[in-house]
């Protein structure tokens, strides 16, 4: 089987397939799960609007699979940046000790 054929077959997997779930795409959820999340978001927004409290915090929408994937990528990117920063600091400290 060629890689192109495998990619075409993978793209035709139904929503909710384990492959979509492990990759973190929005297809990890079925249509029913997306509609349920939309209903929950609408109910939260409606309740927030009816509180009458101008200082009330706007409700957060339900996290979708793609949102979680993006958060993981952001966390990984931040960890990489932090490690690079620490390495620069170590090098800088070694340079000042040698001088």
Q: Rounded CA gap, 91 and 88, in Å?
A: 5
**Predicted confidence band of residue 10 (pLDDT cuts 50, 70, 90):** confident
- Full-model pTM: 0.53
> What pLDDT score was predicted for residue 39?
97
> What pLDDT score was predicted for residue 98?
76
Look at 2-6, 7-11, 71-75, 77-81 and tell me which has the smallest mean pLDDT.
Answer: 71-75
What is the CA 44 to chain-centroid distance, rounded?
Answer: 21
Residue 16 main-chain phi, psi, to 5 deg? 90, 0
Rounded (to 5) percent helix, strand, coil in the chain:
75, 0, 25
pLDDT per residue over 66-93, tens digit each?
A: 777 666 666 677 777 778 888 888 888 8
Residue 9 main-chain phi, psi, to 5 deg? -65, -40
> What pLDDT score was predicted for residue 69?
67
Mean pLDDT of 15-19: 73
């Amino acid at each position: 089987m060629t890689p192109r054929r495998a990619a075409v077959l993978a793209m035709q997997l139904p929503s909710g397939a384990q492959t979509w779930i492990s990759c973190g795409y929005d297809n990890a959820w079925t249509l029913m799960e997306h509609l349920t999340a939309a209903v929950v978001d609408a109910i939260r927004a409606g309740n927030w609007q009816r509180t009458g409290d101008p200082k009330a915090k706007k409700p957060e929408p339900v996290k979708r699979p793609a949102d979680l994937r993006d958060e993981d990528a952001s966390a990984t990117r931040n960890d990489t940046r932090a490690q690079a920063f620490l390495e620069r600091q170590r090098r800088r400290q070694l340079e000042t000790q040698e001088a």
